[in-house]
């Protein structure tokens, strides 16, 4: 799981996110031969434009990243699967990484093994 402070400014997609695990730090690179599913631990504030800049103190929801996030100039936008459909965060425009981190609590990533 990656804590919010590990989300780097200027990242493109998942290229600069770092995973901490039993093998220590290793980069998650976009474009690997195998697809990775990524679930984000968030507070539901992040899903709604009226609350996505509010602070939260715990995560209460898990969303699945639908496509790599767009991170430019310290700002982020992404599409996630939640509540049976795809939702854009934020609906219009972008959030600063600091605003995003107010409701982001980490993620897990894995490769499906079913055939």
Residue range 40-58, pLDDT digits in tens: 999 999 999 999 999 999 9
pLDDT in the model for residue 49? 95
Enumerate the domain spans of the chain. 4-110
- Token readout for 60 is 């209460």
Q: What is the DSSP string of the chain?
A: ---GGG--TT--TTTT-EEEETTEEEE--TT-SS--EEEEEE-GGGGSTTTTTS--SS--EEEEESSPPEEETTEEEEEEEETTEEEEESSSS-EEHHHHHTSEEEEEEE-----
Alpha carbon 70 to chain centroid, angstroms: 10
pTM score: 0.69
Residue range 53-107, pLDDT digits in tens: 999 999 999 999 999 999 999 999 999 999 999 999 999 999 999 999 999 999 9
Is the predicted pLDDT of residue 1 greater than 70, yes or no?
no
Place of tokens 């804590």: 3
């Amino acid at each position: 799981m990656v804590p919010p402070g590990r989300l780097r400014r200027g990242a493109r997609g998942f290229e600069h996110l770092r995973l901490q695990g039993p093998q220590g730090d290793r980069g998650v690179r976009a474009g690997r031969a195998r697809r990775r599913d990524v679930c984000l631990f968030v507070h539901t504030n992040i899903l709604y434009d009226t609350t996505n800049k509010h602070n939260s103190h715990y995560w209460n929801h898990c969303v699945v990243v639908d496509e790599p996030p767009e991170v430019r100039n310290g700002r982020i936008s992404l599409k996630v699967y939640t509540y049976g459909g795809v939702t854009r965060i934020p609906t219009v425009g972008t959030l600063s990484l600091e605003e995003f981190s107010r409701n982001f609590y980490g993620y897990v990533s894995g490769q499906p093994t079913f055939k």
